[in-house]
Amino acid sequence: MSSAPLDLFRPSSTLDSDSLSKKITLLGTINSVKAILQLEKSHFNFSNEIPITTVHQIAHNDVYYWGTTLLEQDLDTNPAAKFNLIYPASEAHIAKYQKHPVHMVVETPEAYEKVVKPYIETQKGDRLQWVRNILYHGVEKERVVFKNDDYILLPDMKWDGTTIESLYLVCIVFRDDISSIRDLTEDDIPYLKRIKESILVEVPKKYGIARDQLRLYVHYQPSFYHFHIHVVNASYGGLGQTQAAGKAILLGEVIETLRLLGKKGYKGKSIEYGLSEGHDLWSGMKEYAN
């Protein structure tokens, strides 16, 4: 295989830098051609011997000591970091990895009708062909975890499929008349409760996790406009903003809110959420910023 010419990478700017996950994404060039280099520190991996080589104590107060250390590292069993290189990198790659500020917007029923609903219409059709492929044409059928008349359940693409600590499944419903929670009303409560109960029964059967250790939620805005439910290990905190208030809404909370909203359903509610400047809706929703 051809080798990543990492030694020729010349950084020009930082696309993203995340101090929580210790990950940095750099834009640069290799032989004057654009490239993106992502570096992420590795997690600790040792059994008995702690791989500390040198200690520098910064301070000490009562029973508390803190400072910095150097660590053993070797490429096979204990690398310091992993890298991802995209070379050559297209403008689309760069746009994808560029971090955009998030703005809080309040989507009133009017904003939904005027800005969001027309946008959603442009996201149907061919854009959802991959969903129909899964639902009706058996694509990815070897990945399906469970299927009944209401929905198909499969592992999220971000999950490795085995680590229960970070379990992440997606439930895609067969009904195609629900683009988002905006299309739900109190009439859908029995339907949603049936799906919720089924997920809480089927996932524990397959993965041996307790039903009350599953966190079920939907996104608004979702990343695609065919109703789906995220199913994750309730103890897992590694999903960042995709799980945050202002993006995720518990399925149980959706059902409770539908009780209050009555016949009009979510179409009658103002919904506040975080919207990235990189999202297609930002230009239209700007005037509804918090």
Of residues 165-184, those binding a copy of itself (CB under 8 A): 165-166
Measured CA distances, 229 to 55, 71, 286 (Å)? 47, 41, 27
Answer yes or no: is 221 a known binding residue: yes
Three-state DSSP state, 55: strand
The reply on whether position 91 binds a copy of itself by CB under 8 A is: no
9-31 residues labelled b (16+ CB within 10 A) or e (exposed): beeeeebeeeeeeebbbbbbbbe
List the one residue from 31, 83, 141, 190 that touches a copy of itself (CB under 8 A).
83
Closest to a copy of itself by CB, 26 vs 170, is 26
Q: What residues between 99 and 128 interact with a copy of itself by CB under 8 A?
A: 99, 101-106
Three-state DSSP state, 168: strand
Q: What residues between 214 and 273 interact with a copy of itself by CB under 8 A?
A: 214-215, 217, 234-235, 237-241, 243-250, 252-253, 256-257, 260-261, 269-270, 272
Q: Are strands 228-233 and 214-219 parallel, antiparallel or unpaired?
A: antiparallel
166-193 residues labelled b (16+ CB within 10 A) or e (exposed): bbbbbbbbeeeebbbbbbbebebbeebe
In whole angstroms, how close is the CB of 217 to a copy of itself at the nearest point? 5
Answer yes or no: is 206 a known binding residue: no
Region near a copy of itself per CB under 8 A, out of 3-11, 122-130, 136-144, 185-193:
3-11
Please state, in angstroms and rounded to a whole number, the distance separating the CA atoms of residues 98 and 92.
Answer: 10
In whole angstroms, how close is the CB of 11 to a copy of itself at the nearest point? 6
The reply on whether position 157 binds a copy of itself by CB under 8 A is: no
The reply on whether position 161 binds a copy of itself by CB under 8 A is: no
224, 229, 271: which is closest to 246 by C-alpha? 271
Whether 228 is catalytic: yes
- Catalytic residue annotation: 228
> Annotated binding site for substrate, which residues?
130, 140, 156, 158, 219-230
> Annotated binding site, which residues?
130, 140, 156, 158, 219-230
